[in-house]
Amino acid sequence: MLSFDELVLEFPEQVWLQFSEEDEAKALPNDEDYSNNEARWNAYLNFLSLNVLFAWFQEEDESQPIVLPARKDLLSIWEVVNGTAIQIGGMRIVLIPSDDIDTEEFYVPAEWVDIPSWVAHYYLAVQVNFDDHWLRVWGYATHQQLKNEGRYNEAERTYSLEREDLIEDLNIIWVRQKLCAEELKNLLSPTSPLPSLSSAEVEKLLAQMSEPSISYVRLNVADFKQWEALIENNIWRQLLYEYRQGKVVKPITETPTIPSESTAVSTPESVLNLPKYPRRRIRQLLYFVAALATGMLAILAGSYIRPKLVETSRATTFSCKNNNGVPTTVVSTHRGNISLIRWAYNLGSEAGYRPEKRCEEVSKRFQQYYNQGVLNFVTTGRQSNQNIVCVSSEKGGACRGMLFTLKPSDNPNQVIQQMFDVASYASGPIEQSSSIYIDINKLLETAPVEKN
């Protein structure tokens, strides 16, 4: 495993920055500010990345960077979408942070590319490594690149570019920042106007998306253009945020009109003054606090807890746990807990990640794809000239989302059988063709559950 200094020497054109435990504590969000753990983690990633890179921008350029939009608007954005915008002179940058291990592709939420008033000149790929307390900007792309060359993923609603298509050297940004406004416009690609929403359409969208149990709210809207029109408007987005926090209890009786001027950016704040927190951030703490809060509400409210919240506590969930010293992806089902994958060997060690980190990351992806409804089969495929293990919605179907990459020396079919230990099942969930397809639904119904 390479040290921080060795990584800097290995990738000298990338921006490498270290952060402290104090930096982590400052970025820890208030539990009541977000409706679910996914939103809290998204806010945490964005705020930590923003703080660290904001200080770096101040040192690198004489122009004072400005965070867009205001603090109150950032809360409503981070509740539903990943990304943070910064203005430096006449240039706009969007930070897209991720704690993913794999950096073969850069994924940008479509909102930042398609909403006319949200588009930026540059999009920075930020990787955060909590194990070793560093982040790096491993590349960036222009709006024109993403719009014209990027691959649009309908299921995840993202634009993506492969790593080799990104630019590593940020010095080019500072050179272009000195260019005239007309030159910067050349970095942008035209965007289509968003639909005008009627009062009835706004009310319907708000009603559909206000349930806090919907973790990935942006993926649950049938008409994504309507979704983009909704969240572009500060007032409507704030209403959605407050509904998801339970701060608005009365039904909507009238719909705010769209202001005549662009509503995507409020009064900017050059310094983002979120509260400081004395306790060290760890991912488990976020989940613990949320679980504790839910438990206390149940005790206090008794039968007044909404049925939907009770139902979600019994939903299928994927998490990383330590089983006899081995990081394990565990699935909590109606039958009990199932050990799905034991991360007994060091996948991803070349990138500076331990099995614990790989377990956490892949477990999170399992949950994401399960929530999206595409986790029916696990198979293998190819992406960016690499073998990958991925999910598919149907037997024999194409990859719908990557779980992790494989080493060039790995035999994909052999790896997938070993990882899921399919030979141990009397009636295994394996579907053999040119590629192996693991039927996840059958596996969860037949795999042995853990003993209490």
Question: What is the structure's pLDDT at 176?
Answer: 66
Task: Write the pLDDT tens digit of every residue in 64-121.
Answer: 888 887 777 899 999 999 999 999 888 899 999 998 877 889 999 999 999 999 999 9
* pLDDT at 138 exceeding the cut of 90: yes
Question: What is the structure's pLDDT at 385?
Answer: 67
Question: What is the structure's pLDDT at 304?
Answer: 31
Question: What is the structure's pLDDT at 65?
Answer: 85
Question: What is the structure's pLDDT at 273?
Answer: 40
Q: Residue by residue, what is the 3-state secondary structure of the chain? A: CCCHHHHHHHCCCCEEEECCHHHHHHHCCCHHHCCCHHHHHHHHHHHHHHHHHHHHHHHHCCCCCEEECCHHHHHHHHCCCCCEEEEECCEEEEEEEECCCCCCEEEEECHHHHCCCCCCCEEEEEEEECCCCEEEEEEEEEHHHHHHHCEEECCCCEEEEEHHHCECCCHHHHHHHCCCHHHHHCCCCCCCCCCCCCHHHHHHHHHHHCCCCCCCHHHCCCCHHHHHHHHHCHHHHHHHHHHHHCCCCCCCCCCCCCCCCCCCCCCCECCCCCCCCCCCCCHHHHHHHHHHHHHHHHHHHHHHCCHHHHHHHCCCEEEEEEECCEEEEEEEECCEEEEEEECCCCCCHHHCCCHHHHHHHHHHHHHHHHHHCCCCEEEEEEECCEEEEEEECCCCCCCCEEEEECCCCCCHHHHHHHHHCHHHCCCCCEEECCCEEEEHHHHHHHCCCCCC
Least confident residue range of 264-273, 299-308, 375-384, 392-401: 299-308
* pLDDT at 197 exceeding the cut of 90: yes
Band (180; pLDDT cuts 50, 70, 90): low
- Rounded to the nearest integer, the mean pLDDT of the chain is 78
Question: What is the structure's pLDDT at 175?
Answer: 67
Band (303; pLDDT cuts 50, 70, 90): very low
Band (179; pLDDT cuts 50, 70, 90): low
* pLDDT at 195 exceeding the cut of 90: yes
Least confident residue range of 21-25, 91-95, 184-188, 223-227: 184-188
Q: pTM to 2 decimals?
A: 0.64
Task: Write the pLDDT tens digit of every residue in 269-293.
Answer: 333 343 333 333 344 444 444 444 4
Question: What is the structure's pLDDT at 361?
Answer: 85
* pLDDT at 380 exceeding the cut of 60: yes
When comparing pLDDT for 254 and 323, which is higher? Answer: 323
* pLDDT at 158 exceeding the cut of 90: yes
Question: What is the structure's pLDDT at 172?
Answer: 76
Mean pLDDT of 18-45: 90
Question: What is the structure's pLDDT at 164?
Answer: 92
Least confident residue range of 289-303, 327-341, 356-370: 289-303
